[in-house]
């Protein structure tokens, strides 16, 4: 039994399962949607601080804690430390990135989820205002931060992800953030 192949223009009339790869690609209007499956990707946790989008590498975020997670104030802690939380028998600090990143601090009681982040030899909670997404991004989509990046952000941004013509997202370097935190910066 021999297979009969359609002539030009007939590929769209046949069921998808009987088309060859070349026929299916030729019938597709948008060839740019083909993705190289061997391209390395990076998992990102997308979030907001002061209505600005940021991301942390998914490999550094071990857990996403709900907004109702109790955080306890401890007198004498630096202003960049919101307090501590008790999680499965361990006490972890909760860090606010606002001062370190040059963002205005939230007024009132901090709201939002907490990302449990491991970097620079420590584990700490990082308060975020809103969790946007957890996604995989092709490494080729991440660009080096430009020289025009705000000076307060420059030491802590490892890459930019240009989402569209008007929106870019800063990928934060958790090692640099926690190193600065341990040195008392921010």
What tokens does 110 get?
């901090």
Phi, psi of 24 (to 5 degrees): -65, -40
pTM above 0.85, yes or no: no
Residue, of 31 and 113, whose pLDDT is higher: 113
Phi, psi of 45 (to 5 degrees): -105, 110
| 12 has pLDDT over 80 | no
Residue 151, SS3 per DSSP:
coil
CA distance 68 to 61: 19
Q: Considering the chain, what is the average pLDDT of its residues? A: 84
What tokens does 16 get?
């998808």
Residue, of 10 and 75, whose pLDDT is higher: 75
Q: b/e map of 75-106 (b: 16 or more CB within 10 Å)?
A: eeeeebbbbbbeeeeeebbbbbbbbbbebeeb
CA distance 58 to 133: 11
Gyration radius (Cα) of the chain, Å: 23
């Amino acid at each position: 039994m021999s297979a009969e192949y359609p002539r030009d223009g007939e590929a769209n009339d046949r069921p998808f399962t009987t088309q060859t790869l070349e026929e299916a690609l030729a019938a597709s209007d948008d060839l740019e949607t083909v993705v190289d499956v061997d391209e390395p990707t990076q998992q990102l946790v997308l979030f907001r601080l002061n209505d600005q989008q940021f991301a942390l590498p998914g490999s550094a975020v071990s857990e996403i804690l709900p907004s109702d997670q109790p955080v306890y104030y401890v007198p004498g802690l630096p202003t960049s430390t919101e307090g501590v939380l008790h999680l499965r028998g361990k006490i972890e600090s909760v860090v606010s990135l606002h001062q370190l990143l040059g963002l205005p601090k939230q007024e009132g009681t901090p709201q939002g989820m907490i990302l449990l982040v491991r970097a620079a030899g420590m584990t700490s909670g990082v308060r975020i205002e809103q969790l946007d997404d957890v996604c995989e991004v092709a490494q080729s989509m991440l660009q080096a931060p430009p020289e025009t990046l705000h000076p307060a952000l420059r030491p802590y941004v490892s890459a930019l992800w240009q989402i569209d013509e008007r929106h870019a997202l800063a990928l934060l370097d958790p090692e640099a953030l926690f190193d600065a935190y341990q040195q008392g910066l921010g």
